[in-house]
Amino acid sequence: MNWATIADYQLKDFMMVSVEVYEALHQAYLNENWPFQLIFLIVLAIQMAMIPRYRIPTLIVLSLVWIFLAWVYMAQTLGQVIWLGETLAWLCTAQALLILGSSILTKVDESDGTRPSMHLKALVFLIVSVPWEALISGQWSLSQSYGLGVLSSVSASIAITWLTLKSGKTRLILLIIPFALLLFQCFLLYGLYFNSVS
């Protein structure tokens, strides 16, 4: 790359995979892991039901979801076509460890006197259940649910973290990586579907 002419580059020049390869890869990924679509949605419903009374189990389950996302999706799937795949996997693993650590250090009786309503938890479940990658790209092959895709998993993690933990400092720490991954995924989808050569 010639840094003197960096302004001449377009976002599509930084994409290391074509739309066709990206979609084929994800279709194979979903075909292989299709039972987890339903399993993770059931897990999410249980997590919503456990908030805020059972904070520790909720956070432990969330950390396991991040581990799955790290090594089944980021490393084994996305890592086949994007060189950052393994780096992102370690980033997700770090997030899982942070969540696990917060579940251990958080007091069981920590509460600010408020409890999220069932309506709010149902709304969160519906929002997180939406296959955002598929809606953004217009491709059903990218209909990844919570635990299988970045946008749904990150959205769920942000919501669960916010509803489960009351410490502002802990919340902030646990939101840094999800927001970074959210920006990365939006950048990737934009580069592939809105600024690429067909």
Residue 178's pLDDT band, with cuts at 50, 70 and 90, is very high
Average pLDDT taken over every residue of the chain: 82
Kindly give, in sequence order, each residue whose CB lies less than 8 Å from that of residue 38, ignoring residues fewer than 6 positions away.
none
Residue 6: inside a domain, yes or no? no
Residue 16's pLDDT band, with cuts at 50, 70 and 90, is low
Domain that holds residue 51: 44-105+117-189
Residue 2: inside a domain, yes or no? no
If one counts the domains in the chain, the total is: 1
Question: Which stretch of DSSP H or E encloses residue 179?
Answer: helix 168-193
Residue 50's pLDDT band, with cuts at 50, 70 and 90, is confident
Q: What is the pLDDT of residue 162?
A: 86
Residue 4 C-beta-side C-alpha neighbours within 13 Å: 0
CA 108 to chain CA mean position, Å: 26
**One-letter identity of residue 19:** V
Residue 81: inside a domain, yes or no? yes
Q: What is the pLDDT of residue 89?
A: 95
The C-alpha atoms of residue 197 and residue 105 are separated, in whole angstroms, by 49
Phi, psi of 143 (to 5 degrees): -80, 75
Pairwise pLDDT comparison (4 vs 54), residue with the higher score: 54
What are the C-alpha distances in Å from 198 to residues 20, 26, 32, 193? Answer: 9, 18, 27, 9
Residue 9: inside a domain, yes or no? no
Helix, strand, coil shares, percent, the chain, to 5: 75, 0, 25
Q: What is the pLDDT of residue 112?
A: 47
Residue 19: inside a domain, yes or no? no
| pTM given for the model | 0.83
- pLDDT tens for 124-169 read 888 888 888 888 777 777 788 899 989 999 999 998 988 888 777 8
Alpha-carbon torsion (112, 118, 120, 124), positive or negative? positive
Q: What is the pLDDT of residue 3?
A: 46
- pLDDT tens for 74-118 read 999 988 888 888 999 999 999 999 999 988 876 544 444 456 667
Residue 13: inside a domain, yes or no? no
Q: What is the pLDDT of residue 64?
A: 95
Q: Kindly report the number of other CB atoms within 10 A of residue 165's CB atom.
A: 22
Residue 13's pLDDT band, with cuts at 50, 70 and 90, is low
Residue 88: inside a domain, yes or no? yes
Residue 23: inside a domain, yes or no? no
